[in-house]
């Protein structure tokens, strides 16, 4: 009888432990995986209360899968299982059992799925110079599902559209509702600011402080809404770009609040911020402490800096990127704060993604100053110790030292259009400058319409440049309807798209809700962007530029079958240019059709270009 009681006690204890590790509390990352991956190694991070006490982990025999090792951490709530999954392994379910000294205390069933047969066909097609990217901050575009405006249990319960610093309720369904609008505009790809869970107590509308890598923020609609949006995009022949953040997480991330061990993050004796000085990474005279502060300092006090030299942390990040790509069918990645990452880690991460998905496009945020600085972080032609394998970057140089001075400065030896010309001449440093993403503005910098003094003619010139120059063009939401404001001092560059919320005073998604000026610019974008879709010269053609003369900058985009001439005249008066100078590109053409109004001009001798115009013409025999 005593023995029976002891047995009952033992069984009860085991049941209690098993209950502690119920399916909803035992977490594993990645949540599932796929067969047929080029890299056969897989790291499973298991998270459950006191999981370390299990002592022993066993894998039920499964053809083609080997459990190579198990490691534990200082924190008993974690352990890592390492697997080798053969390239011919069949999809199915893996069964892991967790044992203590006397009994099985938990069981984990893990799914190995087949890879999607549409990869490279209708999904994961990559982003290239034939695309027009439209950047959206999901919280500020459109509220398509009011039921997810507030989610019980999340720390931020704000919802106040009158307060710029609070959440406004935009979501993925709202974006899906306006895919027709975007496609008519000429957009082919969407880049969304981060969609992963940001369960932070304050200011979470931007999305750059992850708290759970494997949860799509439910306030945006969750994973189901994300899949539905992406499926809708792919059915339309459009593409999706996800925003990656490898450098840091939000301070409420479970990996920080419940550390596996201290080596997952960078620590300092006292709080140490990054210097934001990318120059030290390439400076031959830099002090080591400055390099360390740049890369290992925290981006902000609420964004802990991940230690990417920790193999487990590095694998966690890389596997998550692969997981998202396969799970959702991503066509590209924009990588936030690229310069602040460990650059050797970034090369490993980029390679891992491109090994599995060669067609995928990756481009990094390089908000730096100077072409050598920017090109240092991309594939380049330098013979230097560090060689980046990043295909492309966000081309801040063609923004800060290109189109902005071209349209805001008086012409000088190195000012005005000459600055745009000079910046472009340095493209020789890139392995492929056509993979860089060019832009007029984004969620961090002043709206272009405000930068050019709310001058509609110059806004059109900027748009024409964006849609005719080399690289991959990116349009920030609302640029087509003259949304404005400066990044400083108030930062009102992330206002709601008018009409995205029920009851808005005006609906800018519809022609009737736009002013004549807004309709004029919208139609300008639509005409040029849709022409660009079928123009081999503008999507894949070469670039030839001419030294600016008399304040006029001329460049051509051309292939064997099409030539487009672009003439930028930012002056307040009409300029007449001698066409004989451009014979290298204009022979044997005699006419040019204006892309915007369809008017054909004779180009044998002189061409008159109106004031404050970027004239775009397709050359004809």
The whole-angstrom separation of Cα 35 and Cα 302 is 37
User: What pLDDT shows up at residue 9?
Assistant: 37
Comparing 18-22, 103-107, 356-360, the range with the smallest average pLDDT is: 18-22
Which domains does the chain carry? 2-113 (2.60.40.10), 133-538 (3.20.20.80), 543-620 (2.60.40.1180)
Q: How sure is the predictor about 2, in pLDDT bands with cuts at 50, 70 and 90?
A: very low
Q: Where are the beta strands (DSSP E) in 386-533?
A: 392-393, 437-439, 472-476
User: What pLDDT shows up at residue 492?
Assistant: 94
- Residue ranges of the alpha helices (H) in 168-272? 172-177, 179-185, 222-235, 254-257
Question: Has 336 been annotated as catalytic?
Answer: yes
**Residue 22 pLDDT more than 90?**
no
Q: One of 205, 365, 496, 618 is an active-site residue; which one? A: 365
Long-range interactions of 75-79: CB distance < 8 A, separation 24+: 75/258, 75/259, 75/260, 75/261, 76/50, 76/51, 76/52, 77/47, 77/48, 77/49, 77/50, 77/51, 77/52, 77/258, 78/45, 78/46, 78/47, 78/51, 78/52, 78/260, 79/46, 79/51, 79/52, 79/54
**Residue 386 pLDDT more than 50?**
yes
* 532 within 8 A of 616, measured Cβ to Cβ: no
pLDDT tens per residue across span 491-545: 899 999 999 999 999 999 999 999 999 999 999 999 999 999 999 999 999 999 9
* 367 within 8 A of 334, measured Cβ to Cβ: no
Q: The tokens of 295 are what?
A: 């890369």
Q: One of 205, 252, 336, 342 is an active-site residue; which one? A: 336
Interval 250-273 mean pLDDT? 98
Q: The tokens of 507 are what?
A: 């609906």
User: What pLDDT shows up at residue 10?
Assistant: 37
User: What pLDDT shows up at residue 347?
Assistant: 98
Question: Has 454 been annotated as catalytic?
Answer: no
Q: The tokens of 169 are what?
A: 């309720």
- The CA-to-CA distance between both ends of the chain, in Å, stands at 104
Does the pTM surpass 0.85? The reply is yes
Interval 191-220 mean pLDDT? 96
Q: What is the CA radius of gyration of the chain?
A: 27
Average pLDDT value over all residues in the chain: 95
Residues with Cβ within 8 Å of 590's Cβ and at least 6 positions away in sequence, in order, are 602, 603, 604, 620, 621
pLDDT tens per residue across span 587-616: 999 999 999 999 999 999 999 999 999 999
User: What pLDDT shows up at residue 8?
Assistant: 36
């Amino acid at each position: 009888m005593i023995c029976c009681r002891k047995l009952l006690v033992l069984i009860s204890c085991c049941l209690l432990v098993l209950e502690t590790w119920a399916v909803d509390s035992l977490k594993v990352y990645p949540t599932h995986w796929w067969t047929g991956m080029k890299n056969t190694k897989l790291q499973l991070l298991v998270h459950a209360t006191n999981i370390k006490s299990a002592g022993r982990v066993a894998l039920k025999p499964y053809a083609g899968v080997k459990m190579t090792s198990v490691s534990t951490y200082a924190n008993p709530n974690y352990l890592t299982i390492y697997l080798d999954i053969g390239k011919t392994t069949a999809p199915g379910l893996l069964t892991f059992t967790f044992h203590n000294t006397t009994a099985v205390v938990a069981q984990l069933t893990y799914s190995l799925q087949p890879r999607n047969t549409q990869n490279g066909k209708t999904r994961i097609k990559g982003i290239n110079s034939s695309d027009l990217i439209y950047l959206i901050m999901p919280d500020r575009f459109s509220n398509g599902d009011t039921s997810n405006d507030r989610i019980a249990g999340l720390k931020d319960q704000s919802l106040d559209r009158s307060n710029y610093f609070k959440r406004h309720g935009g979501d993925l369904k709202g974006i899906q509702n306006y895919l027709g609008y975007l496609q008519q505009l000429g957009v082919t790809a969407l880049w969304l600011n981060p969609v992963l869970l940001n369960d932070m107590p304050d200011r979470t509308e931007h999305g750059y402080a992850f708290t759970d890598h494997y949860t799509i923020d439910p306030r945006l609609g969750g994973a189901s809404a994300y899949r539905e949006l992406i499926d809708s995009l792919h059915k339309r022949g459009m593409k999706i770009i996800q925003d990656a953040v490898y450098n840091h997480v939000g301070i409420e991330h479970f990996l920080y609040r419940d550390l596996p061990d201290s080596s997952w993050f960078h620590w300092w004796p006292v709080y140490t911020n990054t210097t934001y000085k990318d120059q030290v990474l390439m400076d031959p005279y830099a002090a080591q402490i400055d390099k360390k502060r740049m890369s290992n300092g925290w981006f902000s006090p609420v964004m802990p800096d991940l230690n990417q030299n920790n193999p487990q942390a590095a694998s966690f990040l890389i596997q998550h990127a692969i997981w998202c790509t396969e799970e959702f069918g991503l066509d590209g990645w924009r990588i936030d704060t690229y310069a602040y990452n460990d650059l050797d880690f970034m090369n490993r991460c980029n390679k891992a993604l491109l090994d599995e998905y060669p067609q995928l496009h990756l481009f990094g945020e390089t908000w730096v100053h100077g072409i050598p600085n920017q090109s240092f972080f991309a594939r380049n032609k330098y013979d230097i110790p560090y060689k980046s394998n990043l295909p492309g970057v966000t081309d801040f140089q063609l923004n800060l030292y290109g189109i902005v001075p071209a349209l805001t400065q008086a012409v000088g030896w190195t000012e005005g259009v000459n600055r745009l010309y000079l910046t472009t001449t340095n493209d020789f440093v890139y392995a492929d400058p056509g993979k860089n993403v060019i832009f007029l503005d984004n969620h961090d910098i002043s709206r272009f319409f405000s930068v050019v003094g709310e001058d509609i003619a110059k806004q059109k010139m900027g748009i024409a440049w964006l849609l005719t120059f080399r690289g991959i063009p990116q349009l920030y939401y609302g640029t087509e309807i003259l949304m404005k404001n400066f990044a400083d001092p108030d930062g009102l560059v992330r206002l709601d798209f008018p009409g995205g919320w029920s009851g808005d005073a005006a609906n800018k998604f519809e022609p009737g809700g736009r002013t004549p000026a807004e309709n004029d610019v919208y139609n300008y974008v639509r005409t040029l962007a849709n022409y660009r879709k079928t123009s081999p010269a503008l999507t894949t053609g070469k670039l030839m530029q001419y030294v600016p003369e008399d304040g006029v900058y001329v460049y051509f985009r051309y292939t064997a079958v099409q030539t487009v001439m672009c003439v930028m005249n930012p002056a307040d008066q009409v300029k007449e240019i001698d066409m004989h100078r451009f014979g290298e590109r204009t022979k044997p053409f005699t006419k040019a059709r204006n892309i915007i109004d369809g008017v054909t001009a004779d180009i044998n001798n002189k061409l008159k270009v109106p004031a404050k115009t970027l004239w775009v013409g397709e050359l004809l025999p």
